[in-house]
Structure 1
């Protein structure tokens, strides 16, 4: 079993008088992660799943006297799929405030649902972390550097969801099932997604243009929908951890693009499942875009796993000079161009280096991914 990089971070924050909340897409191993935590702490645990109707009914209107009976002498309350429980934030608040000996651990696959229900009630009462598909660093730790370097094609095609890594022979089947049945489960349960067919068209359109700037007006025309609906559905995809957005970076250069966005998926296997393209890299023309998506998604995992805060962008001018990824934080200013072809002679645009001489500018091929993900 692969040990996740955030394990020690989580262990160190248990039994500190706060709830511990784990967000992330479905099927990324949140339940398994909590089971590993519980095995380490070895405390008497009550497990409740928000997908169970009787659990939702019992916890719908929480009060302290009722919780005395429910919690008994348990030392840990594990709320799986907590976003399904009505007033879950109030429930956790009561336990944190009145049951000092009980550690609450809650998982949720839907940020817009869970965050909205817990942020206000749990101000100052919670720790949070996001659990994404397995990262490059985690996979290297589970095997070795050389083995993982040899697996780059596998990662671009099938991604790194735990089930895919653990059962690579059936990776395509797992990904299709995930994309068709689980990925949007929370979204389709909401009244906000009134047009699932349109929603899936938008997802596929995004998957077919990774690495390209997304014009929401053009996307709306392509899927024959109004732009407000497209905006809303893309926002829901972000909030359910399917995609993430990079805005344009602008500062000192007059002709920099300022308003456009690029949209990437957290896992390239999901991209291929949506487009139904699992062809080998030798037989497809989107390898560069897949590699770009893979590297930037891995960087997102790196930032989350190491609790690093950074603002992430892409950069382009009206003269079509561009850089795939720009990252700014208190300690770093990075500009990175990704090239699948190791023999590529591309250079970081002089316009950028002159305007931002303090930035560390890199051109990285597949052979350099370990360097980038350990910066």
Structure 2
């Protein structure tokens, strides 16, 4: 079993009278994480249900105090998996914790655009939100040994780190799993819940983003290529982000005249998902896009590292109008900066001249396949 970093905090953060929320893409291990936790509290009685169970969803949507008492009064805890399928789930959960202040409540969800209703006014001050990512370098090291991430790097760049993918040996089976995951889960959540008419356009947009990792996206160019208006492109990108397919990184600036700050770069939450979208799984040493895959991998891993260590760090890229750039700028809550350049080859690299002039107190660290674990473990 792959150890997950969030498991160590579950017992201390799940409290009566509050809703413990776990979000993340489908198949990243949310259900397994909670079920593993429940085996450690077998002295407690837990009701376990799924949001796609229409009988349970109808009960919750009724917001009937008498029905809630009849169903849940005998339990110490309530676990609702894939809560986005329940309409007005936030109001239902608020009533539940109001009626049963000693009840522990855990919910999971994989569609943030449906979970907005849970994060709003109904549960203000009554929730704790956590995110589960695909398996991290640190988790792989704990699962196997500290040298394993470096040894597995070609596979991580090509097939990503979804839990089931890591446990499949045959490359063809990995590819088939990832393609099915993309079609059956990641896109379907958006298509079903949002009732989009242009399903192919959504797939085409994801493909275009996949080919532009590490580059600022021109929404006007995307709109022209896909024959959609700019506002639709913005909406689709937002849906892909809220369904945990991609994430955005904005431009960093402290208002210096030459710094670009109003554009966005997009990355995939998992390299395997990115490669499944474009259906390319050639060996890394044969790929022209290995630099982009490496950048996606490292920036993603730093994002996961900061999330699990609760650093409060924000991620940006840095570029000037004369095309000097740094791949990753991290800003801590106290304003401290860290700068990283993602390089495929381990050799001496030059720092863009404008960076040390503007930020002399922040050296640029070069992350490459020979040293990356020092930044992630």
Q: TM-score, normalised by structure 1?
A: 0.96
Instruction: Please tell me whether the aligned partners of residues 294 and 342 of structure 2 are also in contact (alpha carbons under 8 angstroms).
Output: yes
Using the TM superposition, give the Cα deviation of residue 219 of structure 1 relative to its aligned residue in structure 2, in angstroms.
Answer: 1.2
Q: Which residue of 1 aligns with 2:344?
A: 340
Work out the number of aligned pairs and report it. 373
CA RMSD of aligned residues (A): 1.4
Q: Which residue of 2 aligns with 1:82?
A: 83
Cα distance in 2 between the residues matched to 1:105 and 1:61: 20
Instruction: Please tell me whether the aligned partners of residues 193 and 233 of structure 1 are also in contact (alpha carbons under 8 angstroms).
Output: no
Q: Which residue of 2 aligns with 1:131?
A: 132
Q: Which residue of 1 aligns with 2:37?
A: 37
Q: Which residue of 2 aligns with 1:159?
A: 160
- The range that moved more, 49-58 or 147-156, is 49-58
Cα distance in 1 between the residues matched to 2:16 and 2:340: 39
Cα distance in 1 between the residues matched to 2:230 and 2:195: 15
Using the TM superposition, give the Cα deviation of residue 68 of structure 1 relative to its aligned residue in structure 2, in angstroms.
Answer: 0.7
Q: Within 5 Å, give how 1:85-96 maps onto structure 2.
A: 85-96=86-97
Instruction: Please tell me whether the aligned partners of residues 19 and 106 of structure 2 are also in contact (alpha carbons under 8 angstroms).
Output: yes
Using the TM superposition, give the Cα deviation of residue 7 of structure 1 relative to its aligned residue in structure 2, in angstroms.
Answer: 1.1
Q: Within 5 Å, give how 1:211-360 maps onto structure 2.
A: 211-331=214-334, 332-343=336-347, 345-360=348-363
Instruction: Please tell me whether the aligned partners of residues 88 and 118 of structure 1 are also in contact (alpha carbons under 8 angstroms).
Output: no
The reply to whether residue 367 of structure 1 matches residue 370 of structure 2 is yes
Using the TM superposition, give the Cα deviation of residue 64 of structure 1 relative to its aligned residue in structure 2, in angstroms.
Answer: 1.8
Q: Which runs of 5+ in 1 are unaligned?
A: none
1:284-342 Cα shifts (integer Å, max 9, x gaps): 10000000000001111112211221221101112111100001013531111010111
Instruction: Please tell me whether the aligned partners of residues 340 and 365 of structure 1 are also in contact (alpha carbons under 8 angstroms).
Output: yes
Instruction: Please tell me whether the aligned partners of residues 347 and 363 of structure 1 are also in contact (alpha carbons under 8 angstroms).
Output: no
Compared with structure 1, are the counterparts of its residues 54 and 176 closer, same or farther at alpha carbon in structure 2 (3 Å cutoff)?
same
Using the TM superposition, give the Cα deviation of residue 16 of structure 1 relative to its aligned residue in structure 2, in angstroms.
Answer: 4.2
Cα distance in 1 between the residues matched to 2:373 and 2:94: 42
Cα distance in 2 between the residues matched to 1:6 and 1:119: 24
Using the TM superposition, give the Cα deviation of residue 183 of structure 1 relative to its aligned residue in structure 2, in angstroms.
Answer: 0.9
Q: Within 5 Å, give how 1:92-241 maps onto structure 2.
A: 92-169=93-170, 170-191=173-194, 193-241=196-244
1:212-264 Cα shifts (integer Å, max 9, x gaps): 11111111112221111111100111111111111111125311112111100
Instruction: Please tell me whether the aligned partners of residues 26 and 183 of structure 1 are also in contact (alpha carbons under 8 angstroms).
Output: yes
- The range that moved more, 112-121 or 141-150, is 112-121
- The range that moved more, 185-194 or 284-293, is 185-194
Q: Which runs of 5+ in 2 are unaligned?
A: none
